[in-house]
Amino acid sequence: MTMTETNKVPTFGYELIRDHVLSTILGKHEEDILYWAGKDLARKFQMFSMEETISFFEEAGWGQLKLEQLSKDEAFYVLTGDPDALQIDKRCFRLEAGFLAQQQQKLSGFMTECFEEKFVKKNTVQFHIKWDLKEKVNS
């Protein structure tokens, strides 16, 4: 195998861990823990731009992330991908939301939160990232 080749984890293996094992272990706290785990993951894999974050999503197998709208204190991203892999109707997307919140917070320097909304019929998830221009954070 050359350095440019990568191993792909079968979708089924990923789904077993993500959708069944984690939800069983985390129970009723799944959404909160996954959000904070996403933030922690973003601290370990720091990006230098949100464009780099878009590439990270694809490489991680999380789907295709696209910026829809950007203003001075908020951004809207849409996540799309293979319906069988995304499983929007069954999956929690708080890990991705936490990851996006932390990346934006690191880049902007302001307290940031992210909320997701599922659109099952469109097979998309919209992430609303909002940062508070009055609340500076230390990096």
Tokens of 66: 């696209």
DSSP the chain: --TT------HHHHHIIIIIIHHHHHGGGHHHHHHHHHHHHHHHS--SSHHHHHHHHHHHTS-EEEEEEE-SSEEEEEEE--HHHH-TTT---HHHHHHHHHHHHHHH-EEEEEEEEEETTTTEEEEEEEEEEEEE---
Task: Enumerate the domain spans of the chain.
Answer: 11-136
Topology annotation, domain 11-136 = Muramoyl-pentapeptide Carboxypeptidase; domain 2 (3.30.1380)
pLDDT at 2 over 50: no
Encode pLDDT of 12-30 as tens digits.
777 788 888 988 999 999 9
Q: Any idea which of 8-17, 100-109, 111-120 has the lowest mean pLDDT?
A: 8-17
The pLDDT assigned to 51 comes to 96
Are the C-beta atoms of residues 84 and 11 closer than 8 Å to each other? yes
Confidence band of 1 (pLDDT split at 50, 70, 90) = very low
The pLDDT assigned to 82 comes to 84
* Percent of the chain at pLDDT exceeding 70: 92
pLDDT at 116 over 80: yes
Average pLDDT score, the chain: 90
Tokens of 77: 């991203």
Encode pLDDT of 38-91 as tens digits.
999 999 999 999 999 999 999 998 999 999 999 999 999 999 988 877 788 888
